[in-house]
Amino acid sequence: MATSVNSLAELVDGRVVGDGTILIHAGQSIGKAGPRQITFAEDAQNLKKLKTCRASAVVVSKEFVDSLPGDAAAAFLIVENAQQAFLQIMGHFCPPRPRRQTGISPQAVVDPSAKMGANTNVAPFAVIGADVVIGANGDICSGVSIGPGCRLGDNVTLHANVVLYHDVQLGNDVIIHASAVIGGPGFGYRMSNGRFERLPHFGSVRIGNDVEIGSCTTIDRAMIGETVVGDGTKLDNLVMVAHNCELGKHNAMAAFVGLAGSATTGDYVMCGGQAGIADHVHVTDHCRIATNAGVTHDLMEPGSYIGAPALPAAEAIKMVIAARTLPKMRTQLRELKSQVAELTACLESLTELPNRTEKTAA
């Protein structure tokens, strides 16, 4: 699908600087791009890499036009937003596969009481339980198991081997990736007669609209009430959301994030990989939790938090800097201790001197 730089410029409403007749066959990152490929430079750091870049064309934001190398052999495509335009160009070279209308496979197991919306596909070896309702334009892939009483909105995609326990609710435009488990019982036990006894979980899970959940992520059902994931929230692979957690709207959580039971978040909360939020802790709107941070108490002020226990970034950075000086401070403390001992000895000798003088005079 060779396309000229001029044609790509028309696609993204850009302006060409250089030879617009060059034919481009594919897109690639700036460090790996070669001849007949296009890449992008969205910031000053990437612009420096153009000296060694072998791409035939580069998408650049217009704010960096004056910084372009004058001796470059590549053609430049000037746009408002380099990354956005490049992604649009990548969509041209790698168009998504069209959605096929396959209907309900005869190899799927669908309870007679289940209701399917228009244009919903159910792949072979999927299992759909009693009283399930699935909206229009759904895609239920192979190996999916949907428990009794589940409610799925329109445009829901469940990838291979997703498991929904009973009575889980999904909104519209939800995507759940392979092997995620939604609605399993929470990790709740009590000690009785010297052994652990499981506590029953009578609640459910409710997922909002436009939510995407990564592979192997688990969201436990509530003990009482609902575990909630708000509209627009995006969860990476291998995220753990425990029973009775309530996530606000448009949260974003990277891999290995864990939320203990009844933790809650506001809207637009972001968590880096391996961050953890303790049980019954609340994180308010617009908080950014750094990688490996541990949130052990309520965070009621928007902002960035790092460390374990998580502290405001500015405060935590001061503590880290101070900690780095501890070896030097320890050496200084030893020296001061030695100096104090010497000064004390000198002072004691001075206070004894008058007494010696008086004895000599007598």
**Active site members:** 243
Say if residues 240 and 217 touch (Cβ distance below 8 Å). Answer: yes
Shortest CA distance to 243 belongs to which of 157, 334, 165, 326?
165
**Distance between terminal CA atoms of the chain?**
115
d(CA 317, CA 305): 10
Shortest CA distance to 66 belongs to which of 44, 93, 40?
44
* Tokens read off for 184: 């399993």
Where residue 114 falls (left for φ over 0; alpha for ψ -120 to 50; beta otherwise) is: beta
d(CA 260, CA 324): 32
* Tokens read off for 60: 């650049």
Shortest CA distance to 85 belongs to which of 189, 150, 5, 192?
5
Q: Would you give the distance in Å from CA 325 to the centre of its chain? A: 33
* Tokens read off for 355: 């007494």
